[in-house]
Structure 1
């Protein structure tokens, strides 16, 4: 068993138990109205269990927070893309320079030896 699975079990099992206990303790139905002008008798209303309303609000909050964090990190992702492109360009340039240097060494090695004056 890996450490990751162990930690997931140590966190996941109590969290799941908490959520089940929370849902059982908050089963009563609540009315969610979407009519600000008539709160006593809303034209559009939904009856949901209280735990569903609270868990849905938490999930929406996590989603909105995740999207906001992702949007704020846009400039860093853009910079990382440009750096990756620059690295790829420099690697290509380095490889081309190595090939040119190897070709130049081979060409020099193939030249006849100079004659010495006696």
Structure 2
């Protein structure tokens, strides 16, 4: 419930700000990708200015997420290796418990208490 309230407190004002930003920046802007001839229509795109703003934010989020994901790769690898090692030692412990039980039954000794 607390998470839902926090999400509402964050995303509702963010949505309002984005709507206000979109309404305030409806004029058409041209993005020219040819630095030598800005009038070249082949390498230019015309759209409302808020589209360029949103695209810049989205590209920034994707690049930031990618950089973070690659930067945390060593931590994920370490966690994966430690989980595999823990599983290996757990299997070994189960194998040793089975061996103790088998020896206890063979020798008619009482089983050890855990």
> Scaled by the length of structure 2, what TM-score is found?
0.89
Corresponding residue pairs, total: 108
Q: Secondary structure at the match of 1:31?
A: strand
Residue aligning to 1:58: 57
RMSD after superposition:
1.2
Q: Which structure 1 residue ranges, 4+ long, deviate > 3 Å from structure 2?
A: none
Structure 1 residue runs without a partner (length 5+): 111-118
Quote how far apart the aligned CAs of 1:74 are: 1.1
| Deviation of 1:20 (Å) | 0.5
1:98 maps to 97
Alpha-carbon separation, structure 2, partners of 1:86 and 1:14: 46
Aligned equivalents of 2:15 and 2:27: distance in 1? 20
Deviation per CA, 1:7-52: give whole Å up to 9, x if none: 111111111111101100111110001112112x124111111111
Q: Hey, what does 1:71 align to over in structure 2? A: 70
Could you say which structure has the larger radius of gyration? 1
